[in-house]
Chain A
């Protein structure tokens, strides 16, 4: 069976930026797995056909994890500059600038996995439209309403991968 990793990332204290967390737990619920609290990254619960990780942001050492999978789906919020409520984008393994921050772009992680560990999985960015990025917990109703469809897409991707 082809192994899949779903990475939800964002800041759960910035409302819709935490949609990755909401989608990840909704997915875990559909898979019959216990939910993660907002501070639990999920590293202690790897080893399933569909694994999940919850992160504040993407970091370079993730490249080693990626190399062990055939499919990696990154789940994040997107802003109004992207018209679709949910966008599914095939990623290429290449460097993408993060300017002055320690953050790493998903494409960069894929490239690092290829260069450092000899294998880059298929990468997909599943992004969900956010409406409210203010300080606070909980999603806006508009973004919350997109969570079930995002989970459906993840399950379809994982199923097709499997």
Chain B
């Protein structure tokens, strides 16, 4: 009798994820699916709004990366207004973006990834969490909180708000940085970089000591996609062309991100609301790619800041081609974390950062705009169409989590087949499947989070739908 296991963190459908694992009669995994809902509801919600409202509305998509949506939206609005922000405004926007990266990447590694690495995949879930980390290593946990707080402080200083910024506007930003604010943000950066280096050392040590697992765990081939500097090929997070490489590391394309529709198409499966973007010229599924830290580091030639670049070179030396194993996402994420802090320092030390020439006015309405940016969890596109008055008529979003949809599905399937024994289901097996998803840091918080959602549930069902086994926690 075949069986089905469902990992369903919550019962609501909007923006949430569920894992279904089908077993054969012998209890072996036949196939595992990762289902996510999508943001189409939000796209509809935006229709009829004035375009200049969008940078304030779209951060509401997400409580985790509001800045990424805010800035992608502002870039799309720049294009609609037919105006390029002055250099100081570009620097200030990028600085806010670095704050977002620092808070998000630090939160992910120290709060979500480190319990598995420090305490073990099979540790008791009662201790395999951030509270367990605090008990095991209180100093590390406090540093993690400080890192996240610092990133949030960058955002708050620039926008006056910790969440839902109203800072970037079409043509620039609406607030200059003062010398005192700059100095206050500069002062802790070395300390923050030190904390990140501690995290990176921990990740590298764990990866080195667990190579057999790393190579077995969701290790598969894809293309990679990410933003680079047009001149140097360095990792870029705020502005630059999009580079796409194939499974062997060969460059396929380097294109203006606003022309994404010429290169990217979305595939639909009937078992998931979230579409599967892929490279048009290679078709589906040969054109699938990965984004986020692994994608960005695999496509880039270097990193423009010294400490992160030194680590980048070590990372690149791991493989002659792209670095493929999913668990290396943690390594890449911490290198980016360091880059974000070093880049924040560069931006803060740029004399133009204190300029009050922060906006270029425009009354033009071009009718269409595309904003592309590297969000912490991957490449993010906002594409708006307006009427002649600037009222939004259509919205298309390709969100970072969507770009990694195929990879997350493949990771779940791979880990389930490698580690799940349907006849002797354990919490540790379930946790490995979750860890495969966690490594990609998907953002599902576009949704509500009302109390009453079901805890994490694994159900084993027979082919007739009868409940055979059930594991629940939370």
Contact = CB atoms under 8 A, between A and B. Distances in A.
B160 to A, nearest CB: 8
Interface stretch (B9-17, B206-214, B353-361, B383-391): B9-17
Interface of A: 9-14, 16-17, 38-41, 43, 55-57, 59-61, 63-64, 76-82, 87, 94-97, 99-104, 108, 111-112, 115-116, 125, 127, 130, 133-136
Contact of A97 (B144, B443, B474): B474
6 residue pairs, one from A and one from B, having the closest CB atoms = A56-B63, A17-B448, A79-B452, A78-B451, A97-B474, A57-B63
B112 interface: yes
Contacts of B135: 115
Interface string B189-211: 00000000000000000000000
B74 to A, nearest CB: 15
Nearest to B142: A116
B456 A130 contact: no
A100 B442 contact: yes
Given A81-B454, A99-B474, A115-B141, 9 more contacts: A11-B63, A39-B164, A64-B149, A79-B452, A100-B434, A100-B437, A102-B108, A104-B111, A133-B12
Nearest to A96: B474
Contact of A77 (B107, B443, B444, B448): B448
Interface in B84-127: 104, 107-108, 111-112, 125-126
Contact of B112 (A9, A81, A96, A102): A102
Nearest to B104: A102
Given A61-B152, A95-B131, A135-B45, A41 B161 contact: yes
B125 A97 contact: yes
B38 to A, nearest CB: 12
Given A39-B161, A115-B131, A79 B450 contact: yes
14 contacts: A14-B14, A16-B450, A39-B166, A79-B11, A79-B451, A82-B451, A100-B112, A100-B437, A101-B449, A102-B104, A108-B131, A112-B131, A133-B12, A135-B45
Contacts of A41: 161-163
Nearest to A126: B451
B449 A10 contact: yes
A8 to B, nearest CB: 13
B40 to A, nearest CB: 10
Interface of B: 9-12, 14, 17, 41-42, 44-45, 56-57, 60, 63-64, 66, 104, 107-108, 111-112, 125-126, 129-132, 134-135, 138, 141-142, 144-145, 148-149, 152, 156, 161-164, 166, 434, 437-438, 442-445, 447-456, 473-474
A97 B473 contact: yes
Nearest to B15: A14
Contacts of A17: 448-450
Contacts of A77: 448, 450-451
A108 B130 contact: yes
B129 A97 contact: yes
A101 B445 contact: yes
B138 A115 contact: yes
B385 to A, nearest CB: 19
Contacts of A80: 452
B441 to A, nearest CB: 8
Contact of B107 (A13, A39, A60, A99): A60
B163 A101 contact: no
B450 A60 contact: no
Contact of B145 (A64, A111, A133): A64
Contacts of B162: 41, 43
Contacts of B104: 102
Contacts of B450: 10, 16-17, 76-79, 127, 130, 133
Contacts of B64: 57, 101-102
A64 B146 CA distance: 10
Instruction: Determine which residue in B142, B164, B166, B443 has the highest number of CB atoms from chain A within 10 A of its CB, and name it.
Output: B164
B56 A61 contact: no
A99 B449 CA distance: 12
B449 A103 contact: yes
B60 A13 contact: yes
Contact of B455 (A9, A38, A97, A136): A97
B192 to A, nearest CB: 14
B120 to A, nearest CB: 16
